[in-house]
Amino acid sequence: MPDFKIAPSILSADFARLGEEVDNVIAAGADVVHFDVMDNHYVPNLTIGPLVCDALRKHGVTADIDVHLMVKPVDRIIPDFAAAGASYITFHPEASEHIDRTLQLIHNEGCKAGLVFNPATPLDYLTYVMDKVDMILLMSVNPGFGGQSFIPATLDKLTEARRLIDESGLDIRLEVDGGVKVDNIREIAEAGADMFVAGSAVFGAASESDPNTYDSVIAAFREELAKATV
Ligand code: DX5
Ligand code: ZN
């Protein structure tokens, strides 16, 4: 059984109580904090930057922070995120003029690096940089918003990415982002993913009577993952 990681996207968290939300979701058993950075240029939405990442670290968050950059250009902001405590920094190849250089920059700043593939973006960008990525992130929705539906063609793409990783023999995470729910996480795992971003499925589970309880949804994810044939 792979070492599956669950990475709630704080895009769907209550931003007015962000530190508490992250504490609660980690206490509920999540592994990684997925941090969506949008610039109203590369994607049509605007979210959070390095100051918020730094604030979470100062608040006491020790879990890995997985910074998903949906910004263009990318290089200028990378050192700021590294200084703010990012663990992973991933970016979309279309948003960088020099992909190899950007990957090196992320490593030089002491973070793990990854490439993010939009639904229509081919995996060809990996051909000459496979040894320079720690993570491959497949978007299963078009980037910009939480709460969209999983695009089924991602399953075949995950299988292809898994094959590339296995053939390389390298230690590379295969993350999936968008529309991951309790009822599809198992088939997504069976297609080859080992790290699962979930925003609305996790933070949408907060109830009025008990807004801090994410235990049941994280437990339901783990139960489904335990049934996966991989
Ligand atoms: C979309 C973001 C996702 C998003 C996922 O651009 O990259 O991380 O928050 O949200 P859900 O899980 O609601 O599809
Ligand atoms: Zn994301």
Domain ranges of the chain: 5-226
At residue 152, what is the residue type?
Answer: P
CATH architecture for residues 5-226: Alpha-Beta Barrel (3.20)
For tokens 């994607």, name the residue. 43
> What local confidence, expressed as pLDDT, does residue 148 receive?
98
Q: Whose CA is nearest to atom 4 of ligand 1?
A: 146
Name the band, by pLDDT with cuts 50, 70 and 90, for residue 185.
Answer: very high
For 100, what's the count of Cα atoms within 13 Å in the CB-facing half-sphere?
A: 5
The Å distance, Cα 5 to ligand 2 centre, comes to 14
Angle at 199 (CA atoms; ends 37, 184), nearest 5 degrees: 130
CA atoms lying within 13 Å on the CB side of residue 152: 0
Give the pLDDT band of residue 190 (cuts 50, 70, 90): very high
Q: Does residue 199 line the site of ligand 1, with CB under 6 A?
A: yes
**What pLDDT is attached to residue 211?**
64
In the chain, the percentage of residues whose pLDDT exceeds 70 is: 99
Q: Residue 175: is it exposed, middle or buried by C-beta count within 10 angstroms (0-12/13-18/19+)? A: buried
Q: Which residue, 28, 14, 31, is CA-closest to 203?
A: 14
Q: What pLDDT does residue 162 have?
A: 98
User: Pairing between strand 195-198 and 112-117?
Assistant: unpaired
Q: How far apart are CA 120 and CA 135, in angstroms?
A: 19
Q: Taking 80 as the threshold, does the pLDDT of residue 95 lie above it? A: yes
> Would strands 135-139 and 195-198 be described as parallel, antiparallel, or unpaired?
unpaired
CB 70 within 8 A of CB 39: yes
Tell me if 34 CB under 6 Å of ligand 1: yes
pLDDT confidence tier of residue 133, bands split at 50, 70 and 90: very high
Catalytic residue numbers?
36, 177
* CB within 8 Å of 96: residues ≥ 6 apart: 72, 73, 74, 75, 102
Instruction: Evaluate if residue 210 carries a pLDDT over 80.
Output: no
Give pLDDT, residue 110: 98
pLDDT value of residue 212:
64
- Is 207's pLDDT higher than 80? no
Q: Which residue's CA lies nearest to atom 10 of ligand 1? A: 146
Q: How many CB atoms lie within 10 A of CB 211?
A: 15
Which are the contacts of 99, defined by CB distance < 8 A and separation ≥ 6?
93, 115, 125, 129
Q: CA-to-CA distance for 175 and 84, rounded, in angstroms?
A: 22
Q: What is the mean pLDDT of residues 151-156?
A: 98
Q: Does residue 208 register a pLDDT over 90?
A: no
Q: Rounded to an integer, what distance in angstroms lies between the CA atom of residue 209 and that of residue 218?
A: 18
pLDDT at 213: 81
Is the confidence at residue 135, as pLDDT, over 90? yes
Alpha carbon distance 96, 102 (integer Å): 7
Average pLDDT of the chain to the nearest whole number: 97
